[in-house]
Structure 1
Amino acid sequence: MKRSRDLLLIRYITIFILMFQLFIKGENRSIICLVFILMFIINNHLRMFYLEKEYSVIISIIVELLVIPIAQMKFGGIIAFYLVGVSIDLFTLKNKVFKYILGTIVLLMEILINDNKNIEQIIIYFILFSTFLILLNYISKIYSTKIEAQHLYDKLRVSEEKLIKANNELEACVYSIEELTLLKERNRISREIHDSVGHALSTAMIQLSAMEAVSQKENSKVKDMAKNLRLFINESFKDVKRAVNELKPDEYDDYQGILRIKEVCNNFEKMSGVQVKTFISKGDWNLSTKQANHLYRVTQEVLSNSLRHGKAKMVKVIMNFTKDEFIISFKDNGIGTSKIEESGVGLKSIRERAEEIEGVVDIKSSYGNGFFVKITVPREEER
């Protein structure tokens, strides 16, 4: 507000009029008067452009209010023109107590410190200056509303950008989970077909071979029928094996480690009643057996700590592959702690297991804000 072009123009006009009254009309030629005007202008500019903290602005205003009566009595001029800059800066203060106390002092100075002995003119000056202060107060409120609206708009824009980013990440995670679930389901179906249909066909082939052997001894016509049926079933069995091999996804083995971690999260949710939200971002490489086993145990330990120590009701588990790292993070809504002590077996075990796979552990917590654990594991070079 204090840097508004219109208010700056008013401020400079009043300073120009004040200089005209002192130097031209009042014929002041003293060095003291010149120094006062220079200090007066400098003080105004300091408040406008350099003093950002409110207490420093208040000190500047108080100093000016103390000097103005002395200057007006010594050099003359209309008191209102001395007080315009102070009045504008008053309404930039957020502290309402100081704003209204200093505003009252300004109005009293306008009434009491006046060379004009005409009561009517004093009343007119007072009314005009009071109107000026009311307008400044109105402008201040409009400006504050504008600033608040701008801040709200900025927050909404940032929130929208974060929401879009989170939505994109969520879509990627959902896609990854769907894809992994599909791989798991295809693997299950192929195993079921192999175990049920394949086993039935194998049994039928064994039985037909036995029938063929018995009928050969008895010179029965059933021999050729059993042989042909056995060959037919054998071909069907080969077709089933080919179908199973095609149905079984090659990528399933690559993500067994991730699926094991997801499975332990699902089992923990069923057994404990704690809600476990799992987010997976699939990459183009997979964890080694050692990495998967260690992270599996780490997940068990973190989830157990969230329930036992943190009294959490919900845990977010985010798994993300980057080009060179796998990152798994856990965030619960438990009671948290203001001091993390790794003297216990649980946290020491987590850090030791992470170090064994060259991982980096980041643990954060604060009272009332739950527990956060992030483990970053480097990609193993293919051998």
Structure 2
Amino acid sequence: MRLWEFREEQRKDVPITFYFMRELRLIMFLLIGGSYIFTNEAIAYWKIVFVIAAMLVYTLTHFLHFNKRTTKYHLLWTSIDFIVTIAFGIIFPTLTLYQINFGIIGITLLIFTNNRRIILIASLLFAIVWTYLWTLNYLHTGHFRFMDMLINLGFVLNSSFVGIMVGYLFKARAKIAEQYESLVHSHSELQDTHDQLRIYAKQVEDLTAASERNKIARDIHDTVGHTMTALIVQLQAARMLQQHDLKQAEDTLNRCEELARSALQEVRLSVRALRDEGGIHLTLTDKLRKLMKDFSDMTGMVTSLRVQGDLTRISTSLQPMIFRLIQESLTNAKRHGNASEAEVTLHTNDDQIDIMIVDNGYGAAEVVPGFGLINMRERLQEHSGSIQFESVEGQGFRVQITIPIQTKTWTYGGAEA
């Protein structure tokens, strides 16, 4: 696509030198043609008619060259200009001023096309015609004007070189205009993507807030629910003891008060420091032992903990979850199954962690997961773990948990080849 074929708003960017060069082209044709009329007093009438006709043809082809509707036939208009210029050399064989027109035609051709085949054919035709016209000049004048030929040829070659440069300039501007339109389109798409990302960010923010709310609910359920279960058991015991042993009933009520305070503290900790699940910096084994003992003291349930393998290999990111899972299982055993015994077995190796919690509670013919069991499953899914619930009515409840351990390997150094 040539520069003058652009839309009207794009043509505003065309350098004014292009319009000056375009009009200068026509002026040069007319001046050279007019010089043959006004500088030759003995010119024949029919030659004057030819020169005028040639000037009209140059004018017509000039406007056809630069008209958007007819510019695609530029080779035809260039061929006509070439033929008319050859006719000048035949009709005026002793004069060589017309040869400047070959340079003007060369500029026009090289602006409109960069097809190498067309340029090669045009160069061969020019060489043939140039040789013929200078031979004709030699036959009519009787001597060969070598310097005149070199000067005219230099002008033609220089004009052709200018045509090549102008053609490259127009091609570069056309490419820039095309890239600019592409850039504008890309910018529009980028803006749309940015807006979409902003929407996604808002959605992620909403999902994150929902996730935090769920974590708060789950944390409160795990901690406060565990304490409240023990509190209910103690209140039931106090109710029975107040009829037989007031002193023991008073001790039990004092313990209930402590449990209530503990529950309040758990709520505060859950709201203020949701991510701080560890609290006291104890090993996982110590935490589980304390959990089992405290729960047994508060509920009267006989609890046992069996550990197989090295628990220190369990990452700190998994330890709070394991603690909560066992705590929830014990709470469910007492609250829903009224179990008197519960056994926790924890086994770990290089590949996975296996946890089994078994109680002797009421059991159920069909396990329908409630809020607590659903939270346990959700916790495990976050770490690619799995959980199974098994129960037979009258034969207690079993929880089987499997957590894969992600193995990471770092290698340093090595033998050089």
TM-score (norm 1): 0.51
Contact 1:72–1:79 (Cα < 8 Å) also in 2: yes
Residue deviations 1:110-163 (CA, integer Å, cap 9, x gap): 332356434224532553244324533552465267437735863785487368
Residue deviations 1:276-301 (CA, integer Å, cap 9, x gap): xxxxxxxxxxxxxxxxxxxxxxxxxx
Structure 1 pair 53–17 and aligned structure 2 pair: CA distance change class (3 A): closer
Taking the aligned partners of 1:186 and 1:110, their CA distance within structure 2 comes to 89
2:201 to 155, 158, 175: 175
1:98 to 118, 123, 126: 118
Structure 1 pair 109–60 and aligned structure 2 pair: CA distance change class (3 A): same
Structure 1 pair 127–67 and aligned structure 2 pair: CA distance change class (3 A): closer
Q: Match for residue 63 of structure 2?
A: 45
Q: Match for residue 346 of structure 1?
A: none
Taking the aligned partners of 1:85 and 1:127, their CA distance within structure 2 comes to 12
1:18 aligns with 2:43: no
Taking the aligned partners of 1:145 and 1:49, their CA distance within structure 2 comes to 18
Residue deviations 1:184-206 (CA, integer Å, cap 9, x gap): 42133123224312321331221
Residue deviations 1:336-366 (CA, integer Å, cap 9, x gap): xxxxxxxxxxxxxxxxxxxxxxxxxxxxxxx
SS class of match (1:179):
helix
TM-score (norm 2): 0.47
Q: Match for residue 230 of structure 2?
A: 204
1:42 positional shift? 1.6
Q: Match for residue 65 of structure 1?
A: 82
Taking the aligned partners of 1:179 and 1:102, their CA distance within structure 2 comes to 69
Residue type at the aligned position of 2:100: F
Residue deviations 1:298-330 (CA, integer Å, cap 9, x gap): xxxxxxxxxxxxxxxxxxxxxxxxxxxxxxxxx
Gapped regions of structure 1 (runs ≥ 5): 249-383
Q: Match for residue 187 of structure 1?
A: 213
Contact 1:14–1:84 (Cα < 8 Å) also in 2: no
Residue type at the aligned position of 1:20: G
1:88 positional shift? 1.2
Contact 2:78–2:105 (Cα < 8 Å) also in 1: yes
Residue type at the aligned position of 1:45: F
Taking the aligned partners of 1:175 and 1:116, their CA distance within structure 2 comes to 83
Residue type at the aligned position of 2:222: S
Q: Match for residue 18 of structure 2?
A: 4
Residue deviations 1:148-187 (CA, integer Å, cap 9, x gap): 7735863785487368636734752563354144224213
CA RMSD of aligned residues (A): 4.2
1:222 to 237, 248, 252: 248
Q: Match for residue 101 of structure 2?
A: 82
Contact 1:209–1:227 (Cα < 8 Å) also in 2: yes
Q: Match for residue 341 of structure 1?
A: none
SS class of match (1:4):
helix
Tell me the number of residue pairs that the alignment of Structure 1 and Structure 2 aligns.
247
Structure 1 pair 36–60 and aligned structure 2 pair: CA distance change class (3 A): same
Residue deviations 1:72-121 (CA, integer Å, cap 9, x gap): 53477633133233211111202111122113323433332356434224
1:111-126 equivalent positions in 2, closer than 5 A: 111-113=131-133, 116-117=137-138, 118-121=143-146, 123-126=149-152
Taking the aligned partners of 2:171 and 2:226, their CA distance within structure 1 comes to 79
Gapped regions of structure 2 (runs ≥ 5): 5-16, 275-417
Larger radius of gyration: 2
